[in-house]
Structure 1
């Protein structure tokens, strides 16, 4: 207790140097834990884009490719699957629900997804969160559209606005479905998933805007009006992919094998978690880069604290000598400096953690809306080993000036230096 009291009194006499050391450690811990939390939450949000989906079904291709274009809207499908195949899958006894997805159109750079009302019922993200509406409601008219939060924010759309979809992803003027405009019927709340950058319409609407098109080209002379399209046969002929939920996950491999062996056409069923693991393995370089940044931040912070302690030690030669003169042993001086370093490290760790909690609470909604990143306020599992490493490095950093003071003689600090 006497050593602790002496350490606190010593720190109180050097307020400026102590404050600088605390600031250095706090900022290092803030950046270190911030990078780790962003990395962990980004990975969790990545996996949470298809929460609750047991199988993802599409045309025969690679698992990662299917996941990218069907869920993350990256790239294009090489082929579609017929509506009959989709119905056969939905009729399997092990299947509890299915949600069809029809991709291929866009609006001012945002993907259009044709689906059914079951999308709003069964789609989950994050920790089994349901979709919610910031305004409006799901589509109930043929030409109703539901837009994601990112679409609404960037294009300044509101419920009741009229939009025109474009054929394909180019958005060229001649490829627009201008004869069949859509009305925005709902705006989804932010989710931090690709849904935020999506425009959702019904499958019959997708068929309606393509009545006068064949193989991606408008038919010459064909002009079906929007009202005439309402009375046409709008039954889907093909879709891009389907989300499948099972009655029991124990049957996942059996259903997957049955779909892969489907005799009518080549299909592929993938487990989203497995495909996400493969995808994350491909982009693991970015994760490793974040870890390297974290290590460099820790090294820089601890080096700054060590430099400050050593610098202050040179100014405290006489203080150490006086302590030795009044009976303190070299071991006591060593312990004094190690305790000092330990207290600075603990205080800096607490300050850095509190700063991270404050910044997370203040910027959480902003990051979700503008960056699509869901930052959890609870500590990530990987933060505790990092805090342990910071504490260990802080204690070791105190050993350096402690050993230097231990090696110095009593006369070294009593000499008058000109």
Structure 2
């Protein structure tokens, strides 16, 4: 067996160009396979880490996916709002550690506007319990100040001290804009890879102030000026949802049941992790599509290796005949070609893994900076080892095709050295 391995290695060295191309074909297949798998798992992890450290999300009575979509992903609209008195009651509940009120409904050039308070900057977490950080500026403090996500700043070219006009509702058209009440940008968040990047954050009081005169859903008369509104005190009457952090997670189900059966108004309390799992299940088609793509990539790479081996086989019939003349048996010929295919596959896998980690090391910081998605250089998981094992096994099986053909040719050629 050792002699066969040595002979296979020398044979590959003699055909360096062909062997190198075959290794590169397998390596590229492995890079794409493992890259797609890493992207799939990182996307799933990033999706699951959109919100972290929050025990309950509370909103008007609704399905948990709908509540998750509008409160976390800013997609869709709430079925109903929460009365401010209900918010205050649960924020002071003995089991509650902190709450973050959220008020949605306005927009700016396609980006959602969210009203909240300073607890958002303190308690909101994403990823592995990462807190929000400002890349520039400070938190909002005045009535008409805004902190924007990095995608808003990049897409619209905004910077600190620029002024923006918020529109009433989700349709940013001229008649719905609060033109006389511009907001000054005072802060820009660092990338998070979450909907925070696409959100404009203002205070709850600001949301109330810009809607003075819009109580019926449309502007019925002149609104107070910015200077006049800044002299008034505003307190929300309603909010869209609230995020809740508990003192102990043991109390999660008890508080959830208490909120869901709240007698003063219909409310829903959901656990983000459960809702995210349900939502990801609805999006599993995309995950399966990525897996299918990766499988076809590997199949294409292995077929390329098969084509290379079959092409070179005809040229090697004289070599096979000489080996037979020197005493090699047909099974030795078969083992020789299978060993070559196995070696090419193994080296291709090793090269592909090295290339993958090199690409991740180079591209990781760029992706983190540009998109806020952290691609970690983790060890190969058991599932990835299984995928690589299947690739190696497939390479060995592919090697049997030209090996069996050479086996039969060596029997028919014998020692006559036909070419």
Distance 1:380 1:109, change over 3 A: farther
Query: Could you report, residue by residue, the CA deviation over 1:19-53 in whole angstroms, capped at 9, with x for unpaired residues?
Result: 22112111111111111111111111111011111
Give how far 1:369 is off.
Answer: 5.4
Say yes or no: does 1:316 pair with 2:316.
yes
Distance 1:32 1:90 in 2: 48
Which range is displaced more, 382-391 or 181-190? 382-391
Query: Residue 192 of structure 2 contacts residue 371 of structure 2 at CA under 8 Å; is this kept in 1?
Result: no
Distance 2:144 2:293 in 1: 49
**TM-score with structure 2 setting the length:** 0.95
Query: Could you report, residue by residue, the CA deviation over 1:326-359 in whole angstroms, capped at 9, with x for unpaired residues?
Result: 1222232222222211111111112222222222
Query: Residue 37 of structure 1 contacts residue 379 of structure 1 at CA under 8 Å; is this kept in 2?
Result: no
1:101 maps to: 102
Distance 1:333 1:380 in 2: 35
1:285 maps to: 285
Distance 1:334 1:264, change over 3 A: same
1:65 maps to: 66
Distance 1:304 1:134 in 2: 48
RMSD between superposed Cα atoms in Å: 1.7
Distance 1:243 1:197 in 2: 19
2:259 maps to: 259
- Secondary structure, counterpart of 1:135 in structure 2: strand
Query: Residue 207 of structure 1 contacts residue 235 of structure 1 at CA under 8 Å; is this kept in 2?
Result: yes
- Secondary structure, counterpart of 2:345 in structure 1: helix
1:132 maps to: 133
**TM-score with structure 1 setting the length:** 0.95
Query: Residue 26 of structure 2 contacts residue 348 of structure 2 at CA under 8 Å; is this kept in 1?
Result: yes
Long gaps (5+) in structure 1:
none
- Secondary structure, counterpart of 2:39 in structure 1: helix
Q: How does 1:9-24 map to 2 (within 5 A)?
A: 9-24=10-25
Distance 1:155 1:218 in 2: 27
Query: Could you report, residue by residue, the CA deviation over 1:337-386 in whole angstroms, capped at 9, with x for unpaired residues?
Result: 22211111111112222222222233334444555644333256342221
Query: Residue 320 of structure 1 contacts residue 413 of structure 1 at CA under 8 Å; is this kept in 2?
Result: no
Give how far 1:81 is off.
Answer: 0.6
1:212 maps to: 213
Distance 1:20 1:330 in 2: 27
Query: Residue 321 of structure 2 contacts residue 418 of structure 2 at CA under 8 Å; is this kept in 1?
Result: no
Say yes or no: does 1:241 pair with 2:237.
no
1:156 maps to: 157
- Secondary structure, counterpart of 1:167 in structure 2: coil
Say yes or no: does 1:338 pair with 2:325.
no
1:271 maps to: 271
Give how far 1:320 is off.
Answer: 1.5
Query: Residue 259 of structure 2 contacts residue 268 of structure 2 at CA under 8 Å; is this kept in 1?
Result: yes
Query: Residue 99 of structure 1 contacts residue 244 of structure 1 at CA under 8 Å; is this kept in 2?
Result: yes
Query: Residue 150 of structure 1 contacts residue 369 of structure 1 at CA under 8 Å; is this kept in 2?
Result: no
Give how far 1:54 is off.
Answer: 0.8
Query: Could you report, residue by residue, the CA deviation over 1:112-158 in whole angstroms, capped at 9, with x for unpaired residues?
Result: 11111111111111111111111111112222111111111111111
Distance 2:129 2:373 in 1: 17
Give how far 1:190 is off.
Answer: 0.6
Paired positions, count:
417
1:327 maps to: 327
Q: How does 1:16-35 map to 2 (within 5 A)?
A: 16-35=17-36
1:363 maps to: 363
Distance 1:151 1:414, change over 3 A: farther
Distance 1:346 1:124, change over 3 A: same
